[in-house]
Every structure is written in structure tokens, then in C-alpha cells.
């Protein structure tokens, strides 16, 4: 499948039914378009099975509650909608996107309690998120923006509003010839990339930021479990930016990113070492079993 995302063949699940791709539209006065009242999930289907799909559906519902938006579907209904969408499009390997949002209704201001909560499930066939960085290592810029305090916004939600600075930062990074950008958090500690968590290796031990103001990714947790099963020490902690100079390896994790090595962040370089390759390869096996 190729071409603009609004002009493709296929089907999208919307509000309980499958509709032709080009007819899956919303009104311009949908509340989410104006006020970011939207949460979403990104998932991957491998060999006909969505990896940790139930966990993603559970997080979608939690995200909705965190932004005061009760999503009127159960985990079971969301799971069925995903597989119905995949079957309708004939896909066994695909990226799956579920989005729940406040639509158009009686309210058109900041308040939206009388507007319906809608949901759509779509997907597309998608290769490596960072292209050849899977083998050579991604190059990251360091964003001028910082991840916000959980006192200012519900940072545990996978909510659309939290991604505004991600888009801005990634555009800046790409203009510099980078694949992505890394954020610091509101305190100045290393946080994450625009759509992925980050890990570092030093002397055979792994260090990753404490997710107290960033999304505790499902892939992140999976990789931590894999490392611990191998007897590798994992430190979840605050990481100062000056520590980057002492780390030997680095990788990103996320549903889209999977496990992607990092070769450079700003002026700091990292080797695509044995541990990075081992975890990346082991993850590829895990998601397909």
C-alpha cells in the first residue's frame, strides 16, 4: 500500500463498523481537532498476531481516563475491532493504530462533556521505522524542548497533545540530517526520543531513564524483562546529560521503532555493540513466536 494516507483502498473500523478507507472521515468541528482531546495506541501485528495487543488496549482506556474521557468500548471489543480491521484488509503483518477522540457535538469550546467519544481502528504495512538505522545506528539531535512535569499534564497518557513538541523536534532533527531527536525532561535529565524510550550500556550494565514523567513504554518494559532474564543489571534512574560521554552503546525501543541501535546523539558517539545486537535480534524472535 502506498500513496497519501487519506487516499487508499481498504477498510477502517469506525465506531463499530468497517467503512471504506476514503469514507473514514470526521467533521472539521470535532473537538479533538481543536483541543487535542485524543488518545491513541500504536501496535504491530506479526504473523497474524498483535504483539501485546491486550496491554495496548488496556493502556488506551487508562489514557482516556487520565484526560477525563471515558472510552465507551471494552478491551474485548477493541481487540475484536483490531482483528476485524486486519482481516478486512487481508493483513497478517501490519502496524495497527487505534485512536479515541471527542467528536463534534453540542459543545464547541474547551468544555466537551456533551460530545460523543468516537474511536477508529486502522493500520498499514510498515517496515523499519528508522530505515537502515536498524543496522548502522540512528543519529539523534538533542531537542531544545523539554518533557513537561507530570504536574502540568498527564504524562502517563498516550495523548495527542503530548506529541506536539515531538513533531517540532523531529522536523528540526530531520533538517539536520538526523533520524530523530532526544529530549531532556523538565529537570534537565535525559528523557526519551520523540516516539521511543532510550537505553544506554556501560561496562556490561544497562541504564535507562526513570519513567516518572515519560511514557513507560510496553516495548520498554518487555526489553527490561529480556535483559533481566539474561542476568544483565538494569538501572532505572535519573541520567544526567554529561553522562552520555561515558556510555558505550545506546538503543531505542518502541512499537514502531522496535529495538533500534543509536550511533550518535549530538556530539556523542556509540558503538552498535554485541548487547545491542543481541537484544534487537532476540526481540525480533520474541514478537514472531
Q: How far apart are CA 153 and CA 164, in angstroms?
A: 13
Q: How far apart are CA 284 and CA 289, in angstroms?
A: 9
CB atoms within 10 A of CB 154: 16
Q: Which residues contact 211 (CB under 8 A, 6 or more apart)?
A: 197, 217, 220, 236
Determine the Cα angle at 183 with ends 180 and 186, to 5°. Answer: 165
Cβ(51)–Cβ(97) below 8 Å = no
**What are the b/e assignments for 35-65, b being 16+ CB within 10 Å?**
bbbbbbbbbbbeeebbbbbebbbebbbebbe
Verify whether residue 158 is a known catalytic residue.
Answer: yes
Q: Which three cell numbers stand for residue 54?
A: 491486550
Cα–Cα distances in Å, from 68 out to 34, 125, 131, 147, 185?
16, 32, 37, 21, 24
Q: How far apart are CA 169 and CA 185, in angstroms?
A: 14
Query: One of 134, 139, 158, 170 is an active-site residue; which one?
Result: 158
- Between β-strands 249-254 and 197-202, what pairing exists: parallel, antiparallel or unpaired? antiparallel
Task: Please report how the helices 218-229 and 274-287 are oriented relative to each other, as an axis angle in degrees rounded to 10.
Answer: 110
List residues with catalytic annotation. Answer: 158
Amino acid at each position: 500500500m502506498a500513496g497519501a494516507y487519506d487516499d487508499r483502498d481498504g477498510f477502517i473500523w469506525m465506531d463499530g463498523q468497517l467503512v471504506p478507507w476514503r469514507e473514514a472521515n470526521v467533521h472539521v468541528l470535532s473537538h479533538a481537532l481543536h483541543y487535542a482531546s485524543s488518545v491513541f495506541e500504536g501496535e504491530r501485528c506479526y504473523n497474524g498476531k498483535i504483539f501485546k495487543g491486550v496491554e495496548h488496549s488496556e493502556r488506551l482506556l487508562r489514557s482516556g481516563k487520565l484526560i477525563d474521557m471515558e472510552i465507551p468500548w471494552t478491551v474485548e471489543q477493541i481487540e475484536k475491532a483490531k482483528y476485524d480491521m486486519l482481516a478486512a484488509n487481508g493483513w497478517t503483518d501490519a502496524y495497527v493504530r487505534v485512536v479515541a477522540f471527542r467528536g463534534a457535538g453540542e459543545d464547541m469550546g474547551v468544555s466537551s462533556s456533551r460530545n460523543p467519544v468516537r474511536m477508529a481502528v486502522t493500520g498499514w504495512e510498515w517496515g523499519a521505522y528508522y530505515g537502515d538505522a536498524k543496522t548502522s545506528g540512528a543519529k539523534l539531535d538533542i531537542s531544545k524542548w523539554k518533557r513537561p512535569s507530570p504536574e502540568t499534564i498527564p504524562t502517563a497518557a498516550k495523548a495527542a497533545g503530548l506529541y506536539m513538541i515531538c513533531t517540532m523536534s523531529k522536523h528540526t532533527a530531520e533538517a539536520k540530517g538526523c533520524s530523530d531527536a532526544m529530549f531532556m525532561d523538565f529537570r534537565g535529565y535525559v528523557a526519551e526520543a520523540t516516539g521511543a524510550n532510550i537505553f544506554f550500556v556501560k561496562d556490561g550494565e544497562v541504564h535507562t531513564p526513570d519513567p516518572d514523567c515519560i511514557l513507560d513504554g510496553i516495548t520498554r518494559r518487555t526489553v527490561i524483562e529480556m535483559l533481566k532474564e539474561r542476568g544483565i543489571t538494569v538501572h532505572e534512574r535519573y541520567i544526567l546529560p554529561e553522562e552520555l560521554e561515558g556510555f558505550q552503546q545506546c538503543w531505542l525501543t518502541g512499537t514502531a521503532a522496535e529495538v533500534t541501535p543509536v550511533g550518535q546523539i549530538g556530539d556523542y558517539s556509540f558503538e552498535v555493540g554485541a548487547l545491542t545486537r543481541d537484544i534487537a535480534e532476540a526481540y525480533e524472535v520474541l514478537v514472531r513466536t
